[in-house]
Structure 1
Amino acid sequence: MLNAYYDPHEAARLEVATRSAERQRRFLCSLDPDSVLLDDFRELIEAAHARRANANAGAPVREKGAPLRVLLLGYAGAGNTGADVRTIETLRQLRRRFADQPLELTVFACGNIFDHPELRAANVLMPSDVYLPDALDAAMDRFDVVLNVEGSTYTSKFSDALAALLIGGVGLAAAHGRFACAYGIDAGAMSARLERFAPATARDVKIVCRSRGTAERLAGLGIATHDGADTAWAFRAAPNSLPPLPPRYAVLCPNNPFWWPVHTDVRRALELDVTGAKSPLRYGPLYFHSWDDLRAARFAAYKRSFAAIADGLRRRGYAPVLVAMEQLDRAACEEIAALLPFDVPIITRGVHSLDTVVATLESAQWVVTTRYHASVLAIANRVPVVGVSMDARIDQLFEENGLADWTIPCDERGFEQRALERIDAGIGATLDSLRDAYAALTQREIAKFEQMGLQLKRDVDAFFQR
């Protein structure tokens, strides 16, 4: 006989909490925690789909006049300029396109750098102490629409754990009957486990790509996609955001292309925490960058090449300025500056605001960058760019738009020579032609982004009228 005080809802809650604790324990104790994370996301997605199928559930019913509750899933708050401008422009578009109804906009936060009014105006969903897959699973009832707004989604370049969050997050939303969309995303090289995970969790998720290469790569995995654009093309810095800089300057945006991906290493993190030791490779509580002698040698060569470009620019009459597009890039900028016999300004996201970073790019004479969104923001302002590419993103941007001559692999020995040759060639009629190509490209991409917004509005309205 049931106890008189038995509460079935409380019992169900405790059962869920117990399962979550078991998953988290398995993750923390595993020799391969990133694989466990992917498996747990997939298990929760499949369970949510099964519950809805058993209940014969349709789309969630929205009360008339209730706000449309939208979660923007991504990398906002970590001090990454590209991730934040993508989020900001999506927030702005949502307010324009859904102006006919109340909106409740929430941004998933990967940090606390919210140095722009659009970011500060949104609600924030911070990762809790609850195991992340279960925390997101539990949060889905709070939203009607979930958009993945991070560009680097279907890739193992940076982290399978980050990919699990982004791909698994919209997969969970769809499994819970929410409108789920990956919005203007990219795809790159994936681990075998991520190649299995991506199509297995794509059911009922709309995926909008920002490049032809992305669509082709995902089609190879059997994932249907739609054409779109990156969401950052329309962003412009607020007026009067430019810091004091020389009147004729060129921007260099390096990073460390060689210490990715990060991997989860619980034991290593615990050892450091117990001993109080520090590691320059640690990234967050449980993650560590990849590093060895070969990576160190390649990074040293990369820094020497960037220093040589800075010196060459100075000899050509341009004051070099180093820009750290993400907080993580600050060390690379400082180490390159240390190789130079003259002082170089360093503009660092986190120390300087998002608008200051973007304004510095907008007013430059040249930009040389390994950061994808430094390319986008410079091109959008007709600033000539040399891309020093670390993966397919810059290559696709340039090659798909007739600009293949303006990108160089970051591991090419002595790439400074080719970069400076490009800069020397980019004068007169060549520069005018390049800027005209930039203007046409920017117009096309902004138009595609606006079409994405119109289609999103139609899709969401239709979804909740089923």
Structure 2
Amino acid sequence: MKKNLKVLLLGYNGANNTGSEARLLAIIEDIRAILGNEALITIPTLNKENLERYLKEDKFLKVAPISSIFFFDIRKLVKEHDVLLLVEGSCYMDTWTSALLWAFLWATKCAKDFKKPSIAYAVDVGHLSSFNRWLVKREASKTDLILTRTESAAQELQKIGVKAPIQTTADCAFTFKTEKDDDEILKEIWPESDSGVVGLAPIDFYLWPVVMRPWGKKENLYKWPYYYSRSKSRVDGSERLALKWAEEADRIIEKRGKRVALICMEELDEPLAVCIKNKMKKPEMVKIFSSRKYNASTMTSILRSLELLVTSRYHAGVLSLEAQVLQIAIGHDTRLRGFYKELGLENYLLDYMSSEIWYKLEEKVNELLENPEAQQKLLKDGFIQHIGRARKNPEILKGFLQERGWKVKT
């Protein structure tokens, strides 16, 4: 049996994204539980400094900076490792940018070329252009195993025509463990929050997708050559979105006597959060919590201390579920749709394009604050179901590696 397996974890790493951070740390735990602490793990990133906020390099864990034009770097890394794991949850979608999708498909192709086994580890499927659907069908079929985190994602891959073996588990972040010192962190950071806190985790839908171009306005630059999609109509859309969130936050404060936490699950959510707070009548009742400042453990503990969560971020819903925090989603892609379908919460999923969305949101917030029992059993049962499925991820990975002759822990 082979020893000291070299594992490459390719994902959205180093972006100060709470969900990606929680997933990555949970996956590293999975690998070490299977292979021991001497497994050689490499994590590529566009931003090494951000990644090192919560991961320290040592002889068994390496952070590998890669270029934003990633083809050569990824191919070299795949060649140097024994197995490839795609660890980004939003793996097979172009909602955010086609470039990220192409990076994952390119790595899969390279693994096939070099006869290295590859596995997509608890991933999702979302919007794809016609070209990208064709590309996913062709390249994702070269994966040795795809684990999807919802049944609807598995069905969509099959519908696209992907021929790789597919199994459904659940998101790795369900097994993420917080630090004990963070259990009461919200009260420590915000002593005035005793009256109860409603969390809002918004996304600026009008920034996406990020597109590749040789130049553009500096304020729209993500990382060259990637720029946010911006135009006058999109900027106006962002302003309207911030105003509506601000109005709902003020209503929660004035009518319900609650404080409001603006949760930035990714650093990129901060400008919208600041804009929302600036438009409010009662900004003194609001605090912004950003993944730029707080690590995944702290952010998760804050989420689990909320009385109610209104989220456009998938992982805010996932990470708060263990504490059975009441939740409502304003969705714009398939991730929350699939998740809420499995939880039985379809009535609490609102479409951000609906003309009645803010009226319906007010209605749902009132309903849950007045009658929390309407959700609590669904949340409890949903967590039990998902944590059980998430624990299958390392079991399946262990069997996958054993079949290929690698030594695993017994």
Q: Same fold (TM over 0.5)?
A: yes
1:30-429 to structure 2, matched below 5 A, reads 64=2, 66-99=3-36, 102-111=38-47, 112-114=49-51, 117=54, 122-128=61-67, 131-201=69-139, 202-224=141-163, 225-241=166-182, 242-243=185-186, 244-245=189-190, 246-247=193-194, 248-266=196-214, 268=215, 279-315=218-254, 316-343=256-283, 344-413=286-355, 415-427=357-369
Match of 2:391 in 1: 450
Counterpart code for 2:39: L
Instruction: Tell me how far 1:407 sits from its aligned partner.
Output: 1.1
The answer to whether the 8 A contact 1:89-1:231 is kept is yes
For residues 241-279 of structure 1, what are the alpha-carbon distances to aligned partners after superposition, in whole Å with 9 as ceiling and x for unaligned?
32422121111111211221111101x15xxxxxxxx52
CA RMSD of aligned residues (A): 2.1
The answer to whether the 8 A contact 2:170-2:389 is kept is yes
Instruction: Tell me how far 1:417 sits from its aligned partner.
Output: 2.3
Instruction: Tell me how far 1:301 sits from its aligned partner.
Output: 2.5
How far apart are the structure 2 equivalents of 1:442 and 1:68? 33
Q: Does residue 1:441 correspond to 2:378, yes or no?
A: no
How far apart are the structure 2 equivalents of 1:228 and 1:452? 7
How far apart are the structure 2 equivalents of 1:204 and 1:352? 35
For residues 371-397 of structure 1, what are the alpha-carbon distances to aligned partners after superposition, in whole Å with 9 as ceiling and x for unaligned?
110111122221111101121111111
Alpha-carbon spacing, 1:88–1:150, altered in 2? closer, same or farther (3 Å): same
Instruction: Tell me how far 1:236 sits from its aligned partner.
Output: 3.9
How far apart are the structure 2 equivalents of 1:88 and 1:259? 28
The percentage of counterpart residues that share the same residue type is 22
How far apart are the structure 1 equivalents of 2:314 and 2:41? 26
How far apart are the structure 2 equivalents of 1:160 and 1:341? 39
Instruction: Tell me how far 1:282 sits from its aligned partner.
Output: 1.1
How far apart are the structure 1 equivalents of 2:198 and 2:273? 14
Instruction: Tell me how far 1:115 sits from its aligned partner.
Output: 6.1
Alpha-carbon spacing, 1:282–1:118, altered in 2? closer, same or farther (3 Å): closer
How far apart are the structure 1 equivalents of 2:16 and 2:202? 15
Instruction: Tell me how far 1:427 sits from its aligned partner.
Output: 4.5
1:455-466 to structure 2, matched below 5 A, reads 455-464=396-405
The answer to whether the 8 A contact 1:107-1:124 is kept is yes
Counterpart code for 2:25: I
How far apart are the structure 1 equivalents of 2:331 and 2:130? 23
Instruction: Tell me how far 1:326 sits from its aligned partner.
Output: 0.7
Alpha-carbon spacing, 1:150–1:431, altered in 2? closer, same or farther (3 Å): same
The answer to whether the 8 A contact 1:234-1:380 is kept is no
How far apart are the structure 1 equivalents of 2:41 and 2:29? 11
Instruction: Tell me how far 1:78 sits from its aligned partner.
Output: 0.8
- Structure 2's unaligned 5+ residue stretches are none
Stretch of structure 1 that moved more, 183-192 or 349-358: 349-358
Instruction: Tell me how far 1:339 sits from its aligned partner.
Output: 0.5
Instruction: Tell me how far 1:356 sits from its aligned partner.
Output: 2.3
The answer to whether the 8 A contact 2:175-2:391 is kept is no
SS in 1 for 2:156: helix
How far apart are the structure 1 equivalents of 2:21 and 2:315? 10
Find the structure with the greater CA-based Rg.
1
Match of 1:24 in 2: none
The answer to whether the 8 A contact 1:147-1:170 is kept is no
The answer to whether the 8 A contact 2:108-2:142 is kept is no
- TM score, norm. by length of structure 2: 0.89
SS in 2 for 1:322: strand
Stretch of structure 1 that moved more, 134-143 or 154-163: 134-143
Instruction: Tell me how far 1:128 sits from its aligned partner.
Output: 4.2
Counterpart code for 1:368: V
Alpha-carbon spacing, 1:289–1:263, altered in 2? closer, same or farther (3 Å): same
The answer to whether the 8 A contact 1:115-1:354 is kept is no
- Structure 1's unaligned 5+ residue stretches are 1-61, 270-277
